[in-house]
Chain A
Amino acid sequence: MSDSTESTDPNDTGGIDDAGGGPPRDPTLRRPDGGTTVLEDDRDAELDRGPFQRWVANSISHPERVYRAMFYVAAIFFLVTTLFPFYWLLMVALTPEGQLQDIVFTPNGFNPGAFVEVFEVIPFHVYMFNSFVIALASTVVVLVIASLAGYAFGRLEFPGRTPLMLLVLVISFFPPAAFFIPLNDLFNTSFVFLEPVTGDGTLYNTPFALVTPLSAIFMPLAIFILTTFYGQIPDGLEDAARVEGTTRLGALFRVIIPLSAPGVATAGVLTFIAVYNEFFFSFLMTDGQPENWAPILDGILAYQGQYEVLYNLMAAASILGVIPVAILVVIAQEKIVSGLTAGALKE
């Protein structure tokens, strides 16, 4: 408390001297009028102010307390808003069917069997597999193409580089819905040359109907990330690789990409999560049947029948669907951190 009483003094230096709790200073030095004011001492000054004023003065002299308080407030806010839905989802999943009213903090009953039931009612594992394949394929496509683009944008000088990069970024600002109708039309059109691949010659109800547009939509961000990383690899390393016997492409895959592992991991994880979580195209580019490459989204909605909605199973399926992404993030985080600490380059 001694800190706060001292800090009400108008001549306080801002709490720097007070922190040490050193010997009391000469009072005349602290009072320009020699101590003749009506406020005889610190105690009187404190009495003169309300608790809010005291708090304000205290905050001004010790801003770090306010910052810490703000940090906790913000952190708790974000934790609650992000984690409470999962908690609530778990409560819903654990509640037996038919007792789903008024769930707040505890489940009405205990039914872990819902996590098994989700696979019995519909083949949810097939939906998960579909989503996983689609997300993985999109990530591979994005990483390969974005690596080549990132190499060009990050390491080569060519006319129109900046305008082209801007164009790529502008594409990422388009609302994906704008592409939907033409794409849907295109994917429902039969092409003879696709017949050996898809049977009827259309891309609808195939993974390509999802992988193609989703790769394109999430490509610009990956290009941007990889451009930054590849641009930072010293030219000498690429030159060395080329003289030693690689092509430019070989240098990219043997030297530049391994050294940019954190960037590649970041781009890959972001793309995977974004595609895995995507709603719009996932919902509309297949007919929702698991054998037609419908993703998790359709699986969750499949618990919604004509006469009843199995909310507890939808909740359980949602939690199961999140698990692969959660695992991926935990693993990738470790990789990203280890990549950052290991990537000390000598320029």
Chain B
Amino acid sequence: MSRVRLENITKRYGDETAVDDISLEVEDGEFVTFVGPSGCGKSTTMETVAGLTRPTEGRVYIGDDDVTDLAPKNRGVAMVFQNIALFPHMDVYENISFGLRLRKYDDEEVRRRVEEAADIVQLEGMLDRMPKEMSGGQQQRVGIARAIVRNPDVFLMDEPLANLDAKLRVHMRTELQRLHRELDATVIYVTHDQAEAMTMSNRIAVLNDGRLQQIAPPLVCYNEPTNLFVAGFIGSPSMNFVEGTLVEGGLETNNFTVDLDPSRLPDVAVGDAVTLGIRPEDVHLSSYAESLASSTDRIDARTDVLEPMGDEVFVYLLLSEAATGSMEQDPAASPNQLLMSVTPDTEIEAGQDVDVVLDRSRIHLFDTATGDALVHDITDLPEREPGTTPTEADS
């Protein structure tokens, strides 16, 4: 097992920059997920680790070795592919043993290791089947067995569950976690599904536009996103964003004001545009306000649409101004809308006027201009260190 280190990896295709200066380190035995929207460069980044793509700039290290110029076969990596990529002209045994046979292991050793790998992924008795005779889940298990049979230093998994149906996906998710624990392997996993990223990883690397946005444990990405993109991408449904302006003594938005001392915020000053972020579960009915350590003033709202999910109910709130006739607008894109999640026993119905409050300890503030996070809790803002006032910093 080995750690993987990327140093300033950049990949350009002509004028297109697919990966832009990514540096990160995956520890020995760690499960790191690259997550991001389509085209964010996560697969390309993984391909540079596998050796299938040569980075335009930067170095790749596995263990202590610089492998940037090594062919994929000499890197000690194994890969599981999104389109499964079993060799259709070989049966399961031949598929799993492909790498071992290329490395000229003797037949007994090959058979022993193939059977062991097949046991781990529960494929006993299917070794003489052809891939096309198997279901999608079985095929992907063969793909995983093909990867583990060589006992590689690093596992690379490129959206291995994307082509499976929803139920099987959840099942395979737990199997992969179990596998990671059993093998104690270094795993790099690529997905666009943030639920997979949250549940499986030790750390998540969030990518967007070829740039690394944040690499941190899942809950840190969730609770302390470094910027607007991570805040919006991690979490389902995503965080509410309300644009506002800093004024003396608070943050003013279209519909409500949040009290705070702008001079205690880093890097911004009165008059700057600041975006408030609040997750649906941190928006509460005002009757609930007393149980919060610190809440905002009441905000008038009207419930628009209810989405009962069983364990919780998502309530789309129209803030008071918008409630009086902005229906020609797409309500989901409206800045006057908030999404709240409540427990299913809450008595609430569509079209009802309600008062809501925000949990101040869960309010995130972002600099609208740069997208960077300012604070993740506005209950007890730290005194700003002297000499770092924004006016000075800007000048």
Residue ranges of A at the interface with B (Cβ–Cβ < 8 Å): 234, 236-237, 239-247, 250, 255, 258-259, 342-347
A-facing residues in B308-323 (Cβ within 8 Å): none
Which B residues touch A342, using CB under 8 A?
Answer: 89
Asked if A242 and B81 sit within 8 Å, CB to CB, the answer is no
Which B residues touch A244, using CB under 8 A?
Answer: 73, 78, 98-99, 102, 146, 150
Q: How far is the CB of A252 from chain B (nearest CB, A)?
A: 13
Complex A-B, nearest 3 residue pairs according to Cβ-Cβ distance, in ascending order? A236-B85, A244-B99, A245-B102
A342–B87 CA distance with the chains assembled, in angstroms: 13
A-facing residues in B77-93 (Cβ within 8 Å): 77-79, 81-89
Which A residues touch B87, using CB under 8 A?
Answer: 237, 240-241, 255, 259
Which A residues touch B156, using CB under 8 A?
Answer: 243
Asked if B98 and A346 sit within 8 Å, CB to CB, the answer is no
Given contacts A237-B85, A346-B88, contact A247 B73 (CB under 8 A): yes
Which B residues touch A239, using CB under 8 A?
Answer: 47, 50, 52, 72, 79, 81, 85
Asked if B85 and A240 sit within 8 Å, CB to CB, the answer is yes
Given contacts A242-B52, A243-B73, A243-B77, contact A344 B102 (CB under 8 A): no
A–B pairs, 21, beta carbons within 8 Å: A236-B83, A236-B85, A237-B87, A237-B88, A239-B72, A240-B81, A241-B98, A242-B51, A243-B51, A243-B156, A244-B73, A244-B98, A244-B99, A245-B103, A259-B87, A343-B88, A346-B83, A346-B86, A346-B88, A346-B132, A347-B83
Which B residues touch A241, using CB under 8 A?
Answer: 87, 98
Given contacts A243-B50, A243-B77, A259-B88, contact A250 B102 (CB under 8 A): yes
A20–B82 CA distance with the chains assembled, in angstroms: 53
Q: Does B220 contact A (CB under 8 A)?
A: no
Asked if A345 and B88 sit within 8 Å, CB to CB, the answer is yes
A296–B139 CA distance with the chains assembled, in angstroms: 52
A-facing residues in B103-140 (Cβ within 8 Å): 103, 131-132, 139
Of A236, A242, A243, A347, most buried by chain B (CB within 10 Å of CB) is A243
How many residues from B make CB contacts under 8 Å with A? 29
Asked if B89 and A234 sit within 8 Å, CB to CB, the answer is no
Measured CB to CB, the nearest residue on chain A to B78 is A243
Which A residues touch B51, using CB under 8 A?
Answer: 242-243
Q: Does B350 contact A (CB under 8 A)?
A: no
Measured CB to CB, the nearest residue on chain B to A347 is B83
Measured CB to CB, the nearest residue on chain A to B52 is A239
Which A residues touch B50, using CB under 8 A?
Answer: 239, 243
Q: How far is the CB of B54 from chain A (nearest CB, A)?
A: 13
A165–B136 CA distance with the chains assembled, in angstroms: 38
Which B residues touch A250, using CB under 8 A?
Answer: 102
Which A residues touch B82, using CB under 8 A?
Answer: 236
Which B residues touch A343, using CB under 8 A?
Answer: 88
Which A residues touch B73, using CB under 8 A?
Answer: 242-247
Given contacts A240-B79, A346-B132, contact A245 B85 (CB under 8 A): no
Given contacts A250-B102, A258-B89, A259-B89, contact A242 B71 (CB under 8 A): yes
Which A residues touch B102, using CB under 8 A?
Answer: 244-246, 250
Asked if A344 and B98 sit within 8 Å, CB to CB, the answer is no
Which A residues touch B52, using CB under 8 A?
Answer: 239, 242-243
Q: How far is the CB of B11 from chain A (nearest CB, A)?
A: 14
A243–B155 CA distance with the chains assembled, in angstroms: 11
Which of B77, B84, B99, B150 contacts A346, CB < 8 Å? B84
Which A residues touch B86, using CB under 8 A?
Answer: 240, 346
A241–B156 CA distance with the chains assembled, in angstroms: 14
Which A residues touch B98, using CB under 8 A?
Answer: 241, 244-245
Which A residues touch B72, using CB under 8 A?
Answer: 239, 242-243
Which B residues touch A237, using CB under 8 A?
Answer: 85, 87-88
A219–B103 CA distance with the chains assembled, in angstroms: 34
Asked if B81 and A344 sit within 8 Å, CB to CB, the answer is no
Which B residues touch A240, using CB under 8 A?
Answer: 79, 81, 85-87, 146
Q: Mark B275-286, 1 if CB is under 8 A from A, else 0.
A: 000000000000
A-facing residues in B32-86 (Cβ within 8 Å): 47, 50-52, 71-73, 77-79, 81-86
Q: How far is the CB of A182 from chain B (nearest CB, A)?
A: 42
Measured CB to CB, the nearest residue on chain A to B132 is A344
Which B residues touch A255, using CB under 8 A?
Answer: 87, 89
Asked if B81 and A236 sit within 8 Å, CB to CB, the answer is yes
A236–B43 CA distance with the chains assembled, in angstroms: 12
A347–B89 CA distance with the chains assembled, in angstroms: 14
Which A residues touch B89, using CB under 8 A?
Answer: 255, 258-259, 342
Which B residues touch A259, using CB under 8 A?
Answer: 87-89
Q: How far is the CB of A15 from chain B (nearest CB, A)?
A: 44
Known: A239-B72, A242-B51, A242-B71. 17 other contacts (CB 8 A): A234-B83, A237-B88, A239-B79, A240-B86, A240-B146, A241-B87, A243-B50, A243-B79, A244-B78, A244-B146, A246-B73, A246-B102, A247-B71, A259-B89, A344-B88, A346-B83, A346-B86
A239–B86 CA distance with the chains assembled, in angstroms: 11
Measured CB to CB, the nearest residue on chain B to A157 is B13
Which A residues touch B139, using CB under 8 A?
Answer: 346
Which A residues touch B103, using CB under 8 A?
Answer: 245
A-facing residues in B230-262 (Cβ within 8 Å): none
Q: How far is the CB of A239 from chain B (nearest CB, A)?
A: 5
Which of B47, B84, B99, B131 contacts A245, CB < 8 Å? B99
A80–B84 CA distance with the chains assembled, in angstroms: 52
A255–B87 CA distance with the chains assembled, in angstroms: 7
A184–B233 CA distance with the chains assembled, in angstroms: 71
Measured CB to CB, the nearest residue on chain A to B99 is A244
Measured CB to CB, the nearest residue on chain A to B97 is A244
A255–B89 CA distance with the chains assembled, in angstroms: 8
A246–B100 CA distance with the chains assembled, in angstroms: 11
A239–B46 CA distance with the chains assembled, in angstroms: 12
Which B residues touch A344, using CB under 8 A?
Answer: 88, 132
Measured CB to CB, the nearest residue on chain A to B143 is A240
A256–B47 CA distance with the chains assembled, in angstroms: 20
Q: How far is the CB of A306 from chain B (nearest CB, A)?
A: 58
A342–B72 CA distance with the chains assembled, in angstroms: 30
Which A residues touch B85, using CB under 8 A?
Answer: 234, 236-237, 239-240
